[in-house]
């Protein structure tokens, strides 16, 4: 078997076209959705990611404001910038690019963002909402993975989903979303014994660790759907995921490529959350 590709670029194109229409409808009601992106420091990878987000906003008609600060910015100063954006009616979404310099407490910064502007879905209020099944912003990467599964018509009810990775931004919320879709969910991590024993049970396998070639063909059940969240650079500087793509595509039924898979979908869901933030404010005046 050779797996079919889940094309994150093509699906993003479709979803972004629909977003453009929602933005036009908002414009017709006198609202221009706005996203503020805050970048602290001069990490080249972060600069590229942030630029891509700003470009994607323009593509669907979202107004974006990029704030760049030197790595020496104090936590207090950053918190003040967030307060100002929280109070700014032209801004519907706020994203603080991670990682932050080590002298800044990232969790404290995230908690300072108004939950109704937390389009990353990282605030405890949004994490809690996901946990208890209430509406709120879902973290963009797992949300994008769910959209990909939906797109290929993967019925999750009763399926065994295995997530490798337990981060607050990918692994844990991914597991919750799969659970909400009635999958039976296993979370594996660095202390898991017999990783391959678990992954071989997976009808849906999500790799979100950050280690090239962590998932090899012998760890994958024939016909499984494999979602690769990894973003690694190999020795030659080439972008690669956590999955041995060439090997695993011989066993899986569906597989996401890196690049061109989960990455573009992450940005698409950021745009989705931002448009939704603007729509919610129009329909819920107190929001
Ligand atoms: N507050 C915050 N929110 C984030 O969502 C966030 C963050 N911080 N910090 C960094 C990570 C990383 N991230 C990516 C998004 C898209 C691609 C992406 O589109 N990748 C392209 C390739 C890009 C390339 O060639 O380098 C692809 O996979 O095809 C990559 C990485 C969002 N992050």
Strand runs (DSSP E) across the chain, as ranges?
4-5, 34-40, 63-69, 93-96, 160-164, 184-188, 204-207, 225-228, 232-233, 239-240, 254-255
Binding residues: 165-167
0.95 exceeded by the pTM? yes
SS3 label, residue 26 = helix
Domains of the chain by range and CATH? 30-123 (3.40.50.10860), 140-263 (3.40.50.720)
Q: Report the atom number in ligand 1 closest to the C-alpha of 264.
A: 19
Q: Is 55 a catalytic residue?
A: no
CA neighbor of 219 nearest in space, from 257, 258, 180, 192: 192
Distance of alpha carbon 281 from its chain centroid, rounded? 22
ipTM higher than 0.90?
yes
CA atoms within 13 A of residue 85's CA, in its CB half-sphere:
30
CA 119, 123, 128, 133: dihedral to nearest 10 degrees?
Answer: 0
Q: pLDDT at residue 216 above 60?
A: yes
How far are the Cα atoms of 3, 151, 224 from residue 24, in angstroms, in the given order? 38, 24, 39
* pLDDT confidence of residue 212: 96
Over residues 75-113, the pLDDT tens digits come to 999 999 999 999 999 999 999 999 999 999 999 999 999
Sorted by sequence, the CB contacts under 8 Å of residue 244 that are 6+ apart come out as 213, 215, 216, 217
Q: Report the atom number in ligand 1 closest to the C-alpha of 122.
A: 1
CA of residue 50 to ligand 1 center, whole Å: 8
* pLDDT confidence of residue 287: 55
285 — pLDDT class (breaks 50, 70, 90): low
User: Best mutation site among 49, 113, 257 for ligand 1, i.e. most ligand atoms within 8 A of its Cβ?
Assistant: 49
Query: Annotated catalytic residue: which of 53, 117, 172, 221?
Result: 53
* pLDDT confidence of residue 286: 58
Query: Annotated catalytic residue: which of 120, 203, 228, 244?
Result: 120
CA of residue 46 to ligand 1 center, whole Å: 8
Q: Is 43 a catalytic residue?
A: no
Ligand 1 site: residues with CB under 6 angstroms?
48-49, 52, 95-98, 120, 140, 231, 239, 258-260, 263-264, 266-267
Written as six digits, the tokens of 76 are 């207090």
CA of residue 268 to ligand 1 center, whole Å: 11
Distance of alpha carbon 58 from its chain centroid, rounded? 19
Write the burial class of residue 108 (CB in 10 Å: 0-12 exposed, 13-18 middle, 19+ buried).
Answer: exposed
The Cα 274–Cα 276 span in angstroms is 5
SS3 label, residue 215 = strand
The Cα 68–Cα 208 span in angstroms is 28
């Amino acid at each position: 078997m050779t797996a079919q590709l889940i094309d994150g670029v093509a699906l993003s194109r479709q979803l972004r076209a629909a977003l453009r229409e929602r933005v036009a409808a908002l414009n017709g009601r006198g609202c221009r959705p706005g996203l503020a992106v805050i970048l602290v420091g001069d990490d080249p990878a972060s600069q590229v990611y942030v630029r891509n987000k700003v470009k994607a906003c323009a593509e669907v008609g979202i107004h974006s404001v990029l704030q760049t600060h030197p790595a020496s910015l104090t936590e207090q100063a950053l918190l003040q910038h967030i307060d100002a954006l929280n109070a700014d009616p032209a801004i519907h979404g706020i994203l603080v690019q991670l990682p932050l310099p080590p002298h800044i407490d990232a969790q404290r910064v995230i908690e300072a963002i108004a939950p109704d502007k937390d389009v990353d879905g990282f605030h405890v209020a949004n994490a809690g909402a996901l946990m208890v099944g209430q509406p709120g912003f879902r973290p963009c990467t797992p949300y994008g993975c769910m959209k990909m599964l939906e797109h290929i018509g993967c019925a999750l009810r009763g399926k065994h989903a295995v997530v490798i990775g337990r981060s607050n931004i990918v692994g844990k919320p991914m597991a919750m979303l799969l659970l909400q879709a009635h999958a039976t969910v296993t979370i594996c991590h660095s202390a898991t014994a017999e990783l391959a024993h678990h992954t071989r049970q997976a009808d849906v396998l999500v790799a979100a660790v950050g280690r090239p070639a962590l998932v090899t063909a012998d760890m994958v059940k024939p016909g499984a759907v494999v979602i690769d969240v990894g973003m690694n650079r190999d020795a030659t500087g080439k972008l690669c995921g956590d999955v041995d793509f060439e090997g695993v595509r011989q066993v899986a039924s569906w597989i996401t490529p890196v690049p061109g898979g989960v990455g573009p979908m992450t940005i698409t869901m950021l745009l989705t959350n931002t448009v939704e933030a603007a729509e919610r404010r129009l329909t819920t005046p107190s929001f």
